[in-house]
């Protein structure tokens, strides 16, 4: 059998074509890096990544890097070896070190990954010795669980943000309130379709969460196959406002339309990377650092708020978790009416939450003062004293 020896160009072409025969025609690069995306070297690199979000993330990280180190893609390919190559490596290392100093260790690591990926696409390597390698220590930043007051502070900041258009404000508002009031996992939240929520129902509105929405319940709740989540009146109104705005802009919504649409790719759901950036922007409105908040923070905020009003078992079920021990066997997860009545006890309004422990303290204080009736009489007496004219004494 006769064999044909392929040169490096043929091998490279086969490698790219096997992963992705042609560039995705739906890809729209970020506006800031649109010119960079037209560079032939960049096109040759990114064509091997079929996922639109992956393309954008690699492009943004690489674009920020070459802007900071003042090198073009052609200069990197031409001068990757020799004296200039050492300068290039030093500048790239310095840029990543600066990111680490700002607490962006993951971004530094991903930037190096994008840089190496670009070099590999051009069949180049840059040797990194042990001394040259940037060792990124995974420092786990403690996430902050936003309180209800901080959630509404985020909403106020979002509404007042003049850099965002009306459609984005409506989308982010609906996304924030739905994440907070439903407690859905970030991935499940973004998989919701318009037909998954019946907005004509009275609040609280139920959401039947199936494995198609939340893949994690395939193992934990395999026997039941679903769980019930709910949203309050605030989230319901925000979603109605957002969907009405999409229809006014000419969109034809169906039951299969994504509930939270990707701004750059109409008809596609929002990706988790965009939701992560949006969550950090929302956190900034409430005075939180980027490292203190993530899309999962709103699920923790949901658990925090629910536990003020409901017992641990109901709170666990509403979050889509399995109850520990034998109690899981006796809890009826399919009883939608019971769970709905329990969920209705939770206060999602803007007013400050009064916890059960605070109510107990007030009750104990009233008992010390002689009960409610005695306190009311005392208040009436004080009111009468205030209405009496004050006698002025001449000095």
Q: Is the pLDDT of residue 8 over 50?
A: no
For residue 242, the SS3 value is helix
For residue 359, the SS3 value is helix
pLDDT value for 53: 79
pLDDT value for 236: 95
pLDDT value for 303: 93
Q: Is the pLDDT of residue 43 over 90?
A: no
For residue 273, the SS3 value is helix
pLDDT tens across 312-366, in order?
899 999 988 888 877 777 888 888 999 999 999 999 988 765 555 555 666 677 6
Extents of the domains making up the chain: 8-121, 148-343, 356-385
For residue 275, the SS3 value is helix
Q: Phi/psi zone of residue 311: left (φ > 0), alpha (ψ -120 to 50 degrees), beta?
A: beta
Q: Is the pLDDT of residue 276 over 50?
A: yes
Q: Is the pLDDT of residue 126 over 90?
A: no
Residue 384: half-sphere exposure toward Cβ, Cα within 13 Å: 6
Considering the domain 148-343, what is its CATH architecture? Orthogonal Bundle (1.10)
Mean pLDDT (the chain, rounded) = 80
Residues in a beta bridge with 269: 261
Indicate the pLDDT class of residue 374, thresholds 50, 70 and 90. Answer: confident
Average pLDDT rounded to a whole number, residues 68-80:
82
Indicate the pLDDT class of residue 11, thresholds 50, 70 and 90. Answer: very low
- Least Cα distance to 343 among 226, 224, 154, 207 occurs for 207
Indicate the pLDDT class of residue 10, thresholds 50, 70 and 90. Answer: very low
First to last CA, the chain: 124
Q: Is the pLDDT of residue 395 over 70?
A: no
SS3 content of the chain, % helix, strand, coil (to 5): 55, 5, 40
């Amino acid at each position: 059998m006769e064999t044909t020896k392929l040169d490096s160009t043929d091998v490279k072409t086969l490698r790219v074509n096997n992963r992705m025969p042609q560039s995705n025609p739906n890809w729209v690069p970020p506006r800031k890096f649109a010119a960079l995306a037209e560079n032939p070297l960049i096109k040759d690199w990114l064509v091997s990544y079929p996922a639109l979000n992956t393309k954008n993330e690699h492009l943004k990280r690489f674009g920020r890097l070459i802007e900071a180190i003042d090198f073009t893609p052609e200069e990197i390919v031409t001068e990757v070896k020799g004296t200039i190559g050492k300068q290039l490596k030093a500048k790239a290392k310095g840029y990543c070190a600066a990111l680490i100093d700002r607490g962006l260790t993951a971004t530094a690591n991903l930037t190096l990954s994008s840089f190496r990926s670009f070099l590999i696409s051009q069949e180049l390597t840059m040797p990194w010795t042990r001394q040259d390698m940037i060792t990124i220590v995974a420092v786990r930043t403690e996430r902050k669980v936003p309180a209800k007051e901080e959630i509404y502070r985020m909403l106020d900041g979002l509404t007042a943000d003049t850099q965002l258009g009306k459609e984005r404000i409506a989308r982010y508002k609906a996304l924030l309130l739905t994440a907070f009031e439903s407690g859905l996992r970030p991935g499940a939240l973004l998989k919701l379709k318009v037909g998954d929520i019946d907005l004509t129902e009275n609040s609280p509105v139920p959401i039947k969460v199936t494995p198609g929405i939340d893949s994690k319940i395939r193992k934990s709740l395999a026997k039941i196959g679903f769980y019930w989540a709910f949203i309050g009146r605030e989230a319901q109104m925000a979603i109605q406002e957002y969907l009405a705005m999409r229809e006014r802009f000419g969109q034809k919504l169906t039951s299969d339309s994504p509930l939270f649409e990707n701004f750059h790719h109409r008809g596609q759901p929002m990706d988790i990377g965009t939701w992560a950036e949006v969550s950090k922007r929302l956190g900034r409105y409430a005075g939180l650092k980027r490292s203190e908040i993530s899309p999962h923070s709103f699920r923790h905020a949901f658990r925090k708020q629910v536990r003020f009003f409901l017992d641990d078992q109901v709170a666990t079920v509403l979050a889509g978790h399995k109850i520990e021990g034998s109690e899981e066997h006796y809890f009826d997860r399919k009883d939608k009416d019971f769970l709905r009545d329990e969920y209705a006890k939770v206060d999602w309004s803007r007013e400050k939450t009064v916890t059960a422990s605070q109510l107990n303290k007030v009750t104990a204080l009233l008992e010390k003062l002689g009960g409610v009736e005695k306190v009311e009489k005392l208040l009436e007496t004080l009111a009468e004293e205030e209405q009496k004219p004050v006698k002025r004494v001449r000095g």
